Amino acid sequence: MSEERSLNFLEEIVEEDIAAGKNGGRVLTRFPPEPNGYLHIGHAKSICLNFGLAQKYNGKTNLRFDDTNPTKEETEYVDSIKDDVKWLGFEWANELYASDYFDQIYEFAVALIKKGLAYVDDSSAEEIAAQKGTPTEPGTPNQYRSRSVEENLQLFADMKAGKYPDGAKVLRAKVDLAAPNMHLRDPLMYRIKHAHHHRTGDKWCIYPMYDFAHGQSDAIEQITHSICTLEFIPHRALYDWFIEQLELFPSKQYEFARLNLNYTVMSKRKLLQLVTEGHVEGWDDPRMPTISGLRRRGYTPASIREFCERIGVAKRENMIDVGLLEFCIREDLNKTAWRRMAVLDPIKCILTNYPEGETEIMHGENNPEVEGGDGSREFPFSRELWIEREDFMEVPPKKFFRLGVGLMVRLKNAYIIKCDDFVKDADGNITEIHCSYLPESKSGHDTSGINVKGTIHWISVPHAKTAEVRLYDRLFQVENPQNEDGDFKDYLNPNSLQILPTAYIEPDLANATPGKPVQFMRKGYFTLDKYSTADKLVFNRTVTLKDGWKSPPTP
């Protein structure tokens, strides 16, 4: 606890609690997702916070599914959530479910009824809403509020027994209908839902509301620090009230500002819409801000953890620039990804003075950032090469360190070449570039004495393998789609996915596997798509390289 980095407000709270001897210095947090969707980068922040806090203070973290609404929750989501948390690199102490506590929570409700602090209300949802009043006017009690304990006990038991249809009755806490905090105006504790639950099946037809399940689950598990997002601040008074009335373990709730990332959306509802309406391929579409999408895109767990560390945590609303996420993945991949060559937008380059039919084997280190290059690989060189179309210009501007008639570049790990000529087809498209190579300039044995500014990547035509390459851009055209007028989907970026059906890659790339990052030199970081096949290799671009080259303004 002696690092230079200053503490965030949650760490301060924990350290104060430990110093005060609260809970005997014990720290137990929980990550409590509702299994109604896939986890996204915003959840990653919460995961890193909860697990990180526990790790730092020798505590533990439970994974608890907040599964109190059977109509929205599915086992598929439970499984994906577990995968994602594990993939991020965290281990939970216990895998738990709010539904594990349904019996206990039911008994808590009975106890509250017995204390005269809960009652069965026959009113409709609309009536209850009306009777709650408004923020400026107090609510008004109805005739059900004064039901006897005995009657409430019987009615609640009947609710549980399935004697009433959905919506016929609810159980409410008797708190304060005039409270300035609307959440205290006799909040609902239980509602009737004749629905199949993914874990408890048809055992229950009444289910506790969030406010009567979350804090109770925390208390049952003896969670010391229950960390949630800002919108739950008004719930805290209720959280404390239930715990106090039921005399449970006094878990404490603390709130932080959720993550917002620009050029994307983060609500599960909106993400679900993108999936169901086919705007993306699925929850794991590489453009999605989901953990599974980021994973498929090529993001590493370490980069996401680093991102969560860097964004910090506070109580003010924030909008983080995706540029920071991209910085984090580049920083990680620069140190770990092997370098390979791939030509994404090919044009043929012929070395007119290189013998036809000859092949040389060139060598390149795997990663110059690693001591010794992290080993090396071989790749063939020949008379005909694929090079990047953008590496040639018919009329090159000043400081264009690539090809143009009369200009020289180095072919990475090979020879220096000089551009002599180019060929156009009938439509005026450039189809071939003719160069001559300098035999004495071979990498490692260069006696030419010539220094060139530019180095370009290339692939030998007869040895090239092909792959499909998918380039991704931000999903939305505006920074904050949900703040714009109209439907957020009106602001989808039509060019968020660009498919290059035929890119040429060096032979060694046949060994690529999903999740193993590779840098296509000068083009960015890529990873093999999880649905790629040996027949048809598909690479996803994780992120571009930072590009310092700015073409001069064209007058």
Partner RNA sequence: UGCCCGAUAGUAUAAAGGUAGUACAACGGUUUUUGGUACCGUUUGUCUAGGUUCGAAUCCUGGUCGGGCAACCA
Asked if residue 378 binds RNA (CB under 7 A), the reply is no
34 is annotated as an active-site residue: yes
Nearer of residues 79 and 440 to RNA, judged by Cβ: 440
Tokens of 113: 């009824």
Q: Which of 22, 26, 34, 56 is catalytic?
A: 34
CA distance 119 to 113: 6
Interface characters, 482-521, with RNA (x: CB under 7 A)? -------------------------------------x-x
In angstroms, what is the minimal distance from the CB of 425 to RNA? Answer: 25
Interaction residues for RNA, span 8-37 (CB under 7 A): 8-9, 12, 34
7 binds RNA (CB under 7 A): yes
How far apart are CB 391 and RNA at their closest, in Å? 8
Residue type, 321: D
- Structural Rg of the chain based on CA atoms: 31
Site for RNA (CB under 7 A): which residue of 30, 43, 132, 340?
A: 132
Q: Distance from first CA to last CA of the chain, Å, rounded?
A: 58
User: Does 522 contact RNA by CB under 7 A?
Assistant: yes
What ranges make up the beta strands (E) of 244-398? 252-256, 338-340, 342-343, 346-351, 360-365, 376-381, 384-388
Residues forming a β-bridge with 190: 171, 208
Instruction: Decide whether 285 or 542 has the Cβ nearer to RNA.
Output: 542
Which residue's CB is nearer to RNA, number 55 or number 123? 123
Give the shortest CB-456-to-RNA separation in angstroms: 7
Residue closer to RNA (CB basis): 285 or 481: 481
Judged by CB under 7 A, the residue of 178, 319, 370, 423 near RNA is 319
Q: Is 419 in the site for RNA (CB under 7 A)?
A: no
Ramachandran category for residue 406: left, alpha or beta (phi over 0 → left; psi -120 to 50 → alpha):
left
Question: Does the protein bind RNA through residue 313 (CB under 7 A)?
Answer: yes
Tell me the CA distances in angstroms from 341 to 38, 49, 332, 518, 540, one per residue in order. 35, 39, 20, 10, 15
Pairing of strands 225-229, 252-256: parallel
Q: Residue 103 interacts with RNA (CB under 7 A)?
A: no
**Smallest distance from RNA to CB 535, Å:** 29
* Residue 177 binding RNA, by CB under 7 A: no
Using alpha carbons, list the distances in angstroms from residue 511 to 18, 381, 429, 534: 51, 20, 35, 10
Concatenating the DSSP letter of every residue in 438-491 gives -GGG-TTS--S----S-EE-EEEGGG-EEEEEEEE--SBSSS-GGGSSS-GGGG
106 binds RNA (CB under 7 A): no
Q: Which is nearer to RNA, 323 or 462 (CB)?
A: 323
172 is a site residue for RNA (CB under 7 A):
no
In the residue annotation, 258 being an active-site residue is answered as: yes
Reference 48, options 28, 23, 31; nearest CA is 31
Among 153, 157, 320, 500, which residue sits at the site for RNA (rule: CB under 7 A)?
320
Q: Does 161 bind RNA (CB under 7 A)?
A: no
Compose the 330-349 pattern: x for residues touching RNA by CB under 7 A, - for all others.
xx--x----x----------
Q: Which of residues 51-70 bind RNA (CB under 7 A)?
A: 66, 68-69
Compare residues 15 and 468 and give the one whose CB is closer to RNA. 15
Name the burial class of residue 269, with classes exposed (0-12), middle (13-18) and buried (19+) by CB atoms within 10 angstroms of its CB: exposed
Angle between helix axes 322-336 and 301-311 (nearest 10 degrees) is 140
Q: Going by DSSP bridges, is the β-strand pair 497-505/430-437 parallel, antiparallel, or unpaired? A: unpaired
Residue of the chain from 412, 470, 489, 530 that contacts RNA (CB under 7 A): 412
Residue 268 designated active-site: yes
CB of 389 to RNA, least distance (A): 14
Which residue in 268, 296, 402, 442 is the catalytic one?
Answer: 268
Residue 123 interacts with RNA (CB under 7 A): yes or no: yes
Q: Which stretch binds RNA (CB under 7 A): 276-284, 409-417, 432-440, 460-468?
A: 409-417
Judge whether 121 and 155 are in contact, CB under 8 Å: no
Tell me which residues in 186-225 interact with RNA (CB under 7 A): 188, 191-193, 207, 209-210, 213-214
Q: Does residue 439 belong to the site contacting RNA (CB under 7 A)?
A: no
Minimum CB–partner distance for residue 185 and RNA (Å):
7
Active-site residue among 258, 270, 377, 474? 258
Q: Does 273 bind RNA (CB under 7 A)?
A: no
Q: Which of residues 229-258 bind RNA (CB under 7 A)?
A: 230-235, 257
> Measuring CA to CA, which residue among 237, 267, 231, 223 is closest to residue 29?
223
Asked if 447 is part of the footprint of RNA (rule: CB under 7 A), the reply reads: no
Q: Is 432 in the site for RNA (CB under 7 A)?
A: no
Which residue lies nearer to RNA by CB, 4 or 247?
Answer: 4
Q: Beta strand 118-121 with 170-173: parallel, antiparallel or unpaired?
A: antiparallel
**DSSP string of 155-216?**
HHHHHHHT-S-TTS-EEEE-S-TT-SSGGGSS-EEEEE----BTTTBTS-SEEE-GGGTHHH
Using CB under 7 A, which of the segments 75-83, 408-416, 485-493, 532-540 binds RNA?
408-416
**With respect to RNA, which residue has the nearer C-beta, 19 or 426?**
19
Taking CB under 7 A as the rule, does residue 317 contact RNA? Answer: yes
Name the residue nearer to RNA (CB basis): 312 or 462: 312
DSSP string of 107-153, one letter each residue: HHHHHHHHTT-EEEE---HHHHHHHT-BTTB-----GGGG--HHHHH
* Distances from the Cα of 226 to the Cα of 47, 138, 196, 255, 509, angstroms: 12, 30, 29, 8, 47
Under the criterion CB under 7 A, does residue 96 sit at the interface with RNA? Answer: no
* Residue 119 contacts RNA per CB under 7 A: no
Axis crossing angle, helix 41-56 with helix 301-311, rounded to the nearest 10: 80
Closest to RNA by CB, 275 vs 342, is 342
Q: Are 139 and 131 in contact (CB under 8 A)?
A: yes
Angle between helices 75-88 and 41-56 (to 10 degrees): 60
Residues belonging to the active site: 34, 258, 268
